[in-house]
Structure 1
Amino acid sequence: MTLPFSDIAPLDKSVPGVQPIEALILPRLPVLYAKRAARLRMLAEHNGAYLEFLASLVEAQKFWLEQHPITPEQAMPVTALMGAGGLAPVKPTQQLLATTPYWHAAFKHFVHTLAPLVSEPVASKLEAAVHDTPEQLATKAAALFNQDYAAVDAGVAVLLWAALSVYWAQAVALVGVQKHTAQAHNEASCPCCGAPPVGGLVLTGDREGLRYLQCSLCETRWHAVRATCVVCHATQHIDYWTFEKTDAPIQIETCGDCHSYLKIFRQDRDPQQDALADDLVSQTLDEALEAQGFARAGINPFSFPS
């Protein structure tokens, strides 16, 4: 099976004239998962077994998506949190997380599928989490939403977030962009779910040169003007860093005003890049910028901060 060039649907060529820049782009989730898994396996050839494990996790997400698509009723707890008319989305409460069994079931499926692929100590922690009560799972999930990453075992956190992500991404997609107008209320967080970005994508194809931020939870991409800090919106002291030549496919954008940084994935230079996958193999860039006092404006849910 030949996959589409991109998980982003092409523009409607039947519409005459220059089309406006889309505030939001929702991915074709089955294509996104398939391409991400393939990218992880390709990168794993030179970057170790963890990326192979993550490829299997993404394939498990795709399987769950296709075998257990959510219903509008199941999506309601998430869609009720989404901001309307430019209002910021609301963070889920611990009670909501405890009473939404869809993602609990997805997490347990991921553990049963992936525990045989990891070491015995890691597998033991994963299997112990399977026996958590809904309230205990919700406590862990709430810690991740509150960016208290140290409160959750690293291996458990990755699978928990993957389960939350496959739930949130479907719920947001059911609402659709027509019913949710994204305003630039806070470019440092997703206008659909409030999660931080993984990084920025400079797109190719129909949208060549436009920058969108990639959500770490619901997979939404939201437009962000280039050469503008996504944290403080300053434009005067923006710099770009790379270890390679100036046209490298991965760059880091830094802000000299608030000392934040964002990793930029130039799909116009390498269309096969995936923000989550390629971030993992370019973390020496992060280390170099953090050593200079810059703080990352985002997370990678495959590698939560310690």
Structure 2
Amino acid sequence: MTTELKPDPSVIGGVPVAPFALLPEPEKLFAKRAARFAFLAQSSNLAPYLTFLGDLTQVQARLVADLPPPALPDAARIEVARAARMPPIDRQSAIADPVLHETLDRLCAGAAAIDIPAPARQALEAVSLAPREDRDWLLGNVLTDTIPADSVAPHLFAAAAAQVHMARIAATLDVAQLVPIRTGICPCCGGRAATSRVIGLKELENVRYAACATCATQWNEVRIKCLCCGSTKGLSYRSAETAKATVKAETCDECQSWVKIFYTLTNPAIEPIADDVGSLGLDLMMKETAYRRGGFDPYLTGY
């Protein structure tokens, strides 16, 4: 009896190779994120905000299975994007998808039933009643990673809807059809990295993946490289805790930016977005420096 041997694309010359991208599984993604928000709230000064985000993320998790299918990039779009080194998901086109607006409607309805701080509830009511033109503006800002600091609250709900919509699209893509866009840019939707994590995969350790706050795709990046400008020079790491901290600010002297990097080998429960909010203390520490935050996370706009 013989066994047929098939090539393993994750191994080249006997050496394991990190997959280029890790696509989201939306239901699991939002359920895990909600649980992480709830856990972090148990021992944080940010407990009210973390609890709110955990409840909102539970709404996202419930929505995933009940929504109609979103508009997906067709084979021609994917091939053109691949050839031009562009993301296959067109963010501008997504704004016009009726399913995204239905997602926002349903998210607002679900959010109305959870415990929300008064200012956020006023924003939720405003978004729920907003005309299409205003909603397009909110979603357009979210999908261009440019949320105005003076209207964070309504954009938070638009961002939560966009996360559901874009993760559902990203989940349908084929990793083999994705190509690197440029350093720090999501290969699925073109969004800026929110954070990155150093993780272990099978026989691989200390592999770095950047995370998109919008579609939740994670993609492999060089371990020591600025996610904002691509430089490998002038990088240093700062922490609000100890040298063995599980979260640090990767600072770049070339572009004067910084992005959070998490070390999950000692804490595998770390979730790129929930722990980004949970480590706000690092953001506050970095505000006292000359570096600007480079990671985009709609839940931290204004901090």
Tell me, yes or no, whether TM beats 0.5: yes
Cα deviation for residue 268 of structure 1 reads: 1.0
CA RMSD of aligned residues (A): 2.8
Which runs of 4 or more aligned residues in structure 1 lie more than 6 Å from their structure 2 counterparts after TM superposition? 11-16
- 3-state DSSP class of the match of 1:157? helix
Which of 133, 136, 157 pairs up with 1:135?
A: 133
* d(CA) in 2 for partners of 1:276, 1:129: 23
Q: Do 1:249 and 1:270's aligned partners in 2 also have CA atoms closer than 8 Å?
A: yes
Q: Do 1:98 and 1:134's aligned partners in 2 also have CA atoms closer than 8 Å?
A: no
- 3-state DSSP class of the match of 1:236? coil
* d(CA) in 2 for partners of 1:119, 1:228: 39
Which residue of the partner structure matches residue 21 of structure 1? 18
Aligned ranges 1:95-106 → 2 under 5 Å:
96-106=93-103
Which residue of the partner structure matches residue 52 of structure 1? 51
- 3-state DSSP class of the match of 1:210? strand
Which residue of the partner structure matches residue 154 of structure 1? 152
Which residue of the partner structure matches residue 65 of structure 2? 66
Which residue of the partner structure matches residue 108 of structure 1? 105
| Shift in alpha-carbon separation, 1:238–1:122, aligned structure 2, 3 A | closer
| Shift in alpha-carbon separation, 1:194–1:122, aligned structure 2, 3 A | same
- 3-state DSSP class of the match of 1:298? coil
TM-score normalized by the length of structure 2: 0.86
Which residue of the partner structure matches residue 162 of structure 2? 164
Which of 185, 190, 199 pairs up with 1:189?
A: 185
- 3-state DSSP class of the match of 1:257? coil
* d(CA) in 1 for partners of 2:28, 2:81: 27
* d(CA) in 1 for partners of 2:100, 2:149: 20
| Shift in alpha-carbon separation, 1:155–1:15, aligned structure 2, 3 A | same
Q: Do 1:158 and 1:303's aligned partners in 2 also have CA atoms closer than 8 Å?
A: no
Q: Which blocks of at least 5 consecutive residues in structure 2 are unaligned?
A: 1-7
Report the count of equivalent residues: 290
| Shift in alpha-carbon separation, 1:215–1:13, aligned structure 2, 3 A | closer
Which of 244, 247, 250 pairs up with 1:247?
A: 244
* d(CA) in 2 for partners of 1:35, 1:234: 33
* d(CA) in 2 for partners of 1:91, 1:76: 8
Q: Are positions 1:261 and 2:277 aligned together?
A: no
TM-score normalized by the length of structure 1: 0.85
Which of 205, 208, 213 pairs up with 2:210?
A: 213
Which residue of the partner structure matches residue 199 of structure 2? 203
* d(CA) in 2 for partners of 1:285, 1:229: 18
Which of 26, 30, 33 pairs up with 2:27?
A: 30
Cα deviation for residue 174 of structure 1 reads: 1.1
Q: Are positions 1:275 and 2:295 aligned together?
A: no
Percentage identity across paired residues of the two chains: 26
Q: Do 1:98 and 1:137's aligned partners in 2 also have CA atoms closer than 8 Å?
A: no
* d(CA) in 2 for partners of 1:253, 1:112: 39
* Equivalent position amino acid for 1:128 in 2: A
| Shift in alpha-carbon separation, 1:61–1:210, aligned structure 2, 3 A | same
Is the deviation greater in 54-63 or in 84-93? 84-93
| Shift in alpha-carbon separation, 1:100–1:193, aligned structure 2, 3 A | same
* Equivalent position amino acid for 1:70 in 2: P
| Shift in alpha-carbon separation, 1:192–1:86, aligned structure 2, 3 A | farther
- Larger fraction in strand: 2
Q: Do 1:98 and 1:135's aligned partners in 2 also have CA atoms closer than 8 Å?
A: no
